[in-house]
Amino acid sequence: MELKGSITEKNLLAAFAGESQARNRYTFY
């Protein structure tokens, strides 16, 4: 699977940022 070919950078970054923020909030806060 090629992430760059199937997923746009915006969607990839948005999904990654969303998951990171959610995990960080529950982990640190």
Phi, psi of 14 (to 5 degrees): -65, -45
Average pLDDT of the residues in 16-28: 71
The reported pTM is 0.36
The larger pLDDT score, comparing residue 13 to residue 3, is at 13
The larger pLDDT score, comparing residue 24 to residue 2, is at 24
Whether 12 contacts 3, CB under 8 Å: yes
The larger pLDDT score, comparing residue 2 to residue 21, is at 21
Across the chain, mean pLDDT equals 67
